[in-house]
Amino acid sequence: MSNHTIRPELREWILATARSGHSLHELLRLLKDAGYGGEQSRQMVARVLNVPLATVVAAAKGAVTGTRTRHPEPPLQWVGEHPVRVTMSTDAPIVRTLEGLLTGEECDQLIGEASPRLARALTVDVDGRHQVDQRRTSQGMFFRIGETPLVERIEQRIADLLQVPVSHGEGLQILHYLPGQEYEPHFDWFNPEQPGFSAVTARGGQRIASVVMYLNTPEEGGGTGFPRIGLTVTALRGSAVYFAYETGDDSSLHAGLPVIKGEKWIATKWLRERPYQP
Ligand X SMILES: O=C(O)CCC(=O)C(=O)O
> Contact residues for ligand X (CB under 6 A)?
183, 188, 212, 224, 254, 256, 266, 268
Cβ-proximal residue to ligand X, closest one: 256
Give 48 or 256: the residue with its C-beta nearer to ligand X: 256
Greatest CA separation for the chain: 60
CB of 270 to ligand X, least distance (A): 8
**Centroid of chain to Cα 36:** 31
3-state secondary structure 226-265: ECCCCEEECCCCCCEEEEECCCCCHHHCEEECCEEECCEE
Give 94 or 212: the residue with its C-beta nearer to ligand X: 212
CB of 161 to ligand X, least distance (A): 19
CB of 26 to ligand X, least distance (A): 26
Do 144 and 226 touch, CB atoms closer than 8 A? no
Give 183 or 197: the residue with its C-beta nearer to ligand X: 183
- Beta-strand ranges (E) seen in 92-227 are 94-99, 119-120, 123-124, 130-131, 139-142, 173-177, 183-186, 207-214, 220-221, 224-226
Give 24 or 174: the residue with its C-beta nearer to ligand X: 174
CB of 137 to ligand X, least distance (A): 11
CB of 114 to ligand X, least distance (A): 14
Give 6 or 179: the residue with its C-beta nearer to ligand X: 179
Question: How far, in Å, CA of 174 to CA of 62, rounded?
Answer: 32
Do 156 and 166 touch, CB atoms closer than 8 A? yes
